[in-house]
Structure 1
């Protein structure tokens, strides 16, 4: 039995009729008015229940960005669960890929609050969701029930290293990558370590391991396909797939699900800045696939150390944002201020890659005024500090 007023007991109180009523009442509450709200609610409800409900209401509001309002306000969360769970769009993409591989059952190890398990179940996959923390397991079970997926999800509170997964078509492992001091960058310091997760993957017919997108390429096992995933332009994670395409490097961009496999190309040549500059998506850069984008665009790099592709042609691509360049200038603050005044630039998007200049510091010094706009790219070209002026090309 949980200790009196333990986190697990406090969470269980939210599943009662009174707790659910409170959560419904707090759906749209204003956090800035929390003290007054708490005082009012404690006149009619136990103080511990009010505190638990207010905490859960805050977590649900935060979770909307990851799960959407329809799911977030039916689900339950822990603070770590909101922070570390997979974004719904990414989980749905991965679940669809599992389903396309013919997977009908998955052992989801280190399941957390169940974000991936829910997506897998919605894709028709039977899931064993395992975590060692009792509160986390209680939340995962509540989420399976809240979304009507309990028939497809078995939640088990256990040490994942002791779970027999031999009866499942695939294994999915999402090791903890945060500790008491924040993010963990050493894959062997994950919980469980990456080496254990790889052994578990190799023992299964198919598997996927969720890892940090900054993992060194040399740490990727030869047996794995490595996929970097971005959503709306933000790199969210990397996944090691086993039983698919060993040695492949891939960048996948959501929401389009456009996917770029590596072709083993050498580094692109450096060439002068042309009429168009392409900024590759972060997943492309992390996957070391800038050369593939450059070849498809008939372009080259502006500098051997900078992931900007340049070309005189405008070609459609899902993997980079194009800009039409109007000016290629050595970095000079005085000259830039003069140009901004002459062109009556009042709005500027300032981007940097390979420059020591901070965009917000530069913005303050420019003192922009006027009705026109432009994009300023602070970078290096052929080794020299350079500023590129232009504007995004509309599709």
Structure 2
């Protein structure tokens, strides 16, 4: 059964680039079908950047057109909650190669479709929301190796004797009244509770989790964790991804942790971080400052950054690094230091004369960025960046920088 008829689809395609607000005003008294068509145009416009193009994470790949981009959406929330095409392709790369996978929380179906695009993969996707199943069926009707089932996936798994290479699950992170939840045990389903059931039907399980979760606590809760990925996209940590294997008994010291973005990846264990030597350095004008990305800040391999990239930390808790060399591949931002100014009243008073405008930030500093901006009396600017920082010896400095 088709979700929308051909006339509906033609109308959407004709107006897909029109201004949605103008369309709504023009068709305020139109039929429910036209109002739904306008909503579909709105969803598609919002989804364009998220689903139409994808890029391999970890660096080294060009952006390409997405072959499994959904065209029809049940709600605006379904667009928001679905994986982007880039992240879905990363999920597919994690499980590849495989013959069979069960997606227990299909949702809009982007992850299932990405995995079904792998050579030789047979994907069974289960979703308890019948409306989501209808839309996924419409979006992916041409993917023959993707089977969609409208059911409670936990009950379905309890009744079946089927075995899979992998199970993928993205538990719902909203409670019964729509509030966000983060703890594994508060999500639906509770992955820790049903983990033994999943591992009787698959040797490997991939779990998508909230980026708010503590990594060590997640490893302890899920017990069989082979690897935790911290997935960053467009400057934000999007998710934790736990690879669980039946034959692994995990502990937080030896479990592999990988921070990954579209441009780089960084893998380590807590044991390696504990064994790494501390290395500190004083900043100087003309040198380079390196600011770790959000995924690296979440992963916390702070001593290993010094070891692997030959940089010096400013302070154990400042988490900024300096080097006289221009280093490619550092997982974060790079700035050129223009001046290093003591945080003292005589320098603060004349700061605005030399730097009347700058973006202001602080790291391990005795006041907030807003308070520092007020003291310096500078206007907002993206050209110059000033960071209030604390150095290893305890002194506070203002670093004036320009982004490379």
Out of 328, 334, 355, the residue aligned to residue 340 of structure 2 is: 328
Q: Does 1:265 align with 2:254?
A: no
Alignment correspondent of 2:19: 30
Listed as ranges, the matches of 1:56-75 within 5 Å are 56-68=40-52, 74-75=71-72
> RMSD of aligned C-alpha atoms?
3.1
Out of 258, 262, 275, the residue aligned to residue 255 of structure 1 is: 262
Alignment correspondent of 1:88: 85
TM-score between the two structures when normalised by the length of structure 1: 0.82
Given that residues 210 and 239 in structure 2 are in contact (C-alpha distance below 8 angstroms), is that contact kept between their aligned partners in structure 1? Answer: yes
Relative to structure 1, is the Cα distance of residues 113 and 131 closer, same or farther in structure 2, using a 3 angstrom cutoff?
A: same
Given that residues 360 and 369 in structure 2 are in contact (C-alpha distance below 8 angstroms), is that contact kept between their aligned partners in structure 1? Answer: no
- Post-superposition offset of 1:368: 4.0
Alignment correspondent of 2:199: 202
Alignment correspondent of 2:166: 170
* Rounded Cα–Cα distance in structure 2 between residues aligned with 1:276 and 1:219: 36
Moved more, 348-357 or 277-286: 348-357
Q: Does 1:116 align with 2:115?
A: no
* Rounded Cα–Cα distance in structure 2 between residues aligned with 1:322 and 1:373: 14
Out of 88, 93, 98, the residue aligned to residue 103 of structure 1 is: 98
* Rounded Cα–Cα distance in structure 2 between residues aligned with 1:201 and 1:364: 57
Alignment correspondent of 1:219: 218
Listed as ranges, the matches of 1:124-139 within 5 Å are 124=119, 125-139=121-135
Relative to structure 1, is the Cα distance of residues 270 and 291 closer, same or farther in structure 2, using a 3 angstrom cutoff?
A: closer
Relative to structure 1, is the Cα distance of residues 66 and 363 closer, same or farther in structure 2, using a 3 angstrom cutoff?
A: farther
Alignment correspondent of 1:142: 138
Structure 1 counterpart SS, 2:101: strand
CA deviation vs aligned residue, 1:51-108 (integer Å, no higher than 9, x gap)? 2112222111111131127765734342221111111101101202211xx3121101
- Post-superposition offset of 1:160: 1.5
CA deviation vs aligned residue, 1:187-222 (integer Å, no higher than 9, x gap)? 210111131353345332111100012211223234
**Consecutive unaligned residues in structure 1, runs of 5 or more:** 1-11
* Rounded Cα–Cα distance in structure 2 between residues aligned with 1:197 and 1:229: 24
Out of 304, 310, 316, the residue aligned to residue 298 of structure 1 is: 310
Relative to structure 1, is the Cα distance of residues 326 and 268 closer, same or farther in structure 2, using a 3 angstrom cutoff?
A: farther
Relative to structure 1, is the Cα distance of residues 333 and 392 closer, same or farther in structure 2, using a 3 angstrom cutoff?
A: farther
- Post-superposition offset of 1:312: 4.2
**Consecutive unaligned residues in structure 2, runs of 5 or more:** 54-64
Structure 1 counterpart SS, 2:310: coil
Structure 2 counterpart SS, 1:178: coil
* Rounded Cα–Cα distance in structure 1 between residues aligned with 2:238 and 2:150: 27
- Post-superposition offset of 1:335: 3.6
Alignment correspondent of 2:230: 228
CA deviation vs aligned residue, 1:293-333 (integer Å, no higher than 9, x gap)? 12112334322223223344443334132223233334468
* Rounded Cα–Cα distance in structure 2 between residues aligned with 1:140 and 1:336: 59
Alignment correspondent of 2:368: 357
Out of 374, 377, 385, the residue aligned to residue 387 of structure 2 is: 377
* Rounded Cα–Cα distance in structure 2 between residues aligned with 1:288 and 1:259: 11
* Rounded Cα–Cα distance in structure 1 between residues aligned with 2:262 and 2:354: 40
Structure 2 counterpart SS, 1:22: helix
Q: Does 1:389 align with 2:387?
A: no
- Post-superposition offset of 1:170: 0.5
* Rounded Cα–Cα distance in structure 2 between residues aligned with 1:80 and 1:392: 36
Given that residues 253 and 283 in structure 1 are in contact (C-alpha distance below 8 angstroms), is that contact kept between their aligned partners in structure 2? Answer: yes
Alignment correspondent of 1:238: 240
Moved more, 373-382 or 131-140: 373-382
Relative to structure 1, is the Cα distance of residues 199 and 123 closer, same or farther in structure 2, using a 3 angstrom cutoff?
A: same
Relative to structure 1, is the Cα distance of residues 298 and 110 closer, same or farther in structure 2, using a 3 angstrom cutoff?
A: same
* Rounded Cα–Cα distance in structure 2 between residues aligned with 1:277 and 1:340: 22
